[in-house]
A and B are shown apart, each in its own frame.
Chain A
Amino acid sequence: SQQGEEDPQALSIQEGENATMNCSYKTSINNLQWYRQNSGRGLVHLILIRSNEREKHSGRLRVTLDTSKKSSSLLITASRAADTASYFCATVAQGGSEKLVFGKGTKLTVNP
């Protein structure tokens, strides 16, 4: 069964606006990761946040993690048309699992 669930399923914004995507998961985790997928391509890793971290930044990306609520958010600031893609969260269950389980993704469209 899928561990992470992204919300919303689809998001359409204008260039320059911020985009926020949320991820909820069910079990205790070791870390949570965000990936990006352009249409018809493989996924690209964006950022990894460990269970003992609350916030992490990478360029225009900001990820937060709330383990008490079992949720994470990905914020893309000052969005660009090139940010148009699907974004997925993925979790690694606590206990040293080798499995990375993905959610269904949020499809982000940034309109020029």
Chain B
Amino acid sequence: SQTIHQWPATLVQPVGSPLSLECTVEGTSNPNLYWYRQAAGRGLQLLFYSVGIGQISSEVPQNLSASRPQDRQFILSSKKLLLSDSGFYLCAWTAGISEKLFFGSGTQLSVL
């Protein structure tokens, strides 16, 4: 069966520090991968998605970047965090176009 791993679960980082969040999927190949961010009590904002290794589509220009170095690995990064980067970050995958998403358990990021 397929599983998605996302870590860490909680992260507290100072302003200006770097960020690396990792997400891996097991039990499937060539998934579409997604990074979403959720502000407290709000909906989900699509940040990045990827349909293949090295293929990244950015939805919102901002302080973050994403990479897909391997088929089932998706990384969210920042060189210098801002206060506004705080939020709940969710990784998700889908088997194909228009199919349902499977979400990771999320990372609560607090930038202080």
**Is A100 within 8 A of B43, CB to CB?**
no
**Is A88 within 8 A of B44, CB to CB?**
yes
**Is B100 within 8 A of A103, CB to CB?**
no
Interface residue range, chain B? 20 to 34
**Is A45 within 8 A of B102, CB to CB?**
yes
**In the docked arrangement, what's the CA distance between A48 and B94, Å?**
13
Interface residue range, chain A? 20 to 34
A90 to chain B, nearest CB (A): 8
B52 to chain A, nearest CB (A): 11
* Other-chain contact of A33, B46, B90, B100 (Cβ < 8 Å): B100
Residues on A with C-beta less than 8 A from B57 are 98
**In the docked arrangement, what's the CA distance between A49 and B103, Å?**
19
Segment from B12-20, B71-79, B104-112 that makes contact with A: B104-112
**Is B43 within 8 A of A42, CB to CB?**
no
